[in-house]
Structure 1
Amino acid sequence: MEYMDDKIIDAMNAYKKEEHGSITTGIYIKEELVEFQTISLYDGKVEIKIPTTFEDMPQKHAEMKYPNQQRPQIIKTNATGDVNFTFNLLDADFATEQVIEARNRFSDLIKQVQPSGVFYEKGEEEISNTLLGWFDFKSHAVGGKLYNIMYCTPVDGKLLQGVFNCKYEDAKLWKTVMLQMLREIRLFEGECTKSEGV
């Protein structure tokens, strides 16, 4: 009987993954259906899909998690604060042909700052007639090990830098989700500011 129960559970899980296997239909993460919504950033110049339950990290939590004065401009987080999406629009001239070099420089910089980090893949995605470069790595923080994906892409001639992080043990659950999110980013040209435009 126990064997049959396991078979039924496996079949139900396979069905759930088939039915909800993308950020369009929702994705099961830890047995919970995570649905996504499109948010608009930087006066409508960036659109990205994030989980519907994620909100702006409260200022006091942001100051604790990112004590550096140069903390991210925008931080979207879950209720427990252990899965985060951050965004920075840097006031630097930036174009598609600079993406790979910038991605590699960010990677090298983090290797210098965190020599104990473990680096995995580097990749590129074509989005909105330009290029997005990303890499992922494991870092060490006060609360334990973190899994991170950092990426960059040009937005209206400026440099958008984004970072995703979660607990390292959840890396496999979130990596494919995050890569789907990166592929779905939409960029729009026009006058652009550093303020959030959600």
Structure 2
Amino acid sequence: MKAEHLRLLVELSDRPTATVRTRLIAIRRLCRVLAQELDVIRAERRALRRQAGRLRPFLPFTKLAVADLERQAASHRYDAMNDLCQALASFGRLLVLGRKEIAGALGFDGLCDLLNVNPVQRVALRGEGPVRLLELVFVEALEDSAEHQGESWKDGPLFNACHYAIVEFIRANASDARRAPVASPPKLRLVKR
């Protein structure tokens, strides 16, 4: 996708007159493009590691070449990868923080239609009570489940965005957890259903 198309999607999602549906479609498309670009970078890194692997049988004569290829793989497009991860995390934060408003505005069927949730799974989810955006996208990973029937599918664009947002949150709050991992143990109690 060209940069002008990406800018158009960003402008479309930022318009004050844009509906929740339009914003979510634009965010989903942007997340898909960002995730595809991350996959390209990872494939390029794997190619460099494969080249290093082909030289390993000839060690110690290829030690410098192997070390150089591994260094290249580790640093290949590092800044671009970080920028893509941060962009996905920012979209994920938008989804996590605005999940109630999105689900409320679209309703269950509208949300499932937009996320391409398998009709069979919709019926099962309907019986469980109110389902929210984060549950559909991240917990249950049902985004695009209509296309990937019977597969273990956890790679939707919004799933990736939520994943990076949660990883960023954990990294930001890891120092607090390390200081007092079990300072005050949680109080457990039985709950009857």
TM-score, normalised to structure 2, is 0.26
Q: Which has the higher helix share?
A: 2
Q: What TM-score comes out, normalization by structure 1 length?
A: 0.25
Specify the structure having the higher radius of gyration (Cα): 2
More strand by share: 1
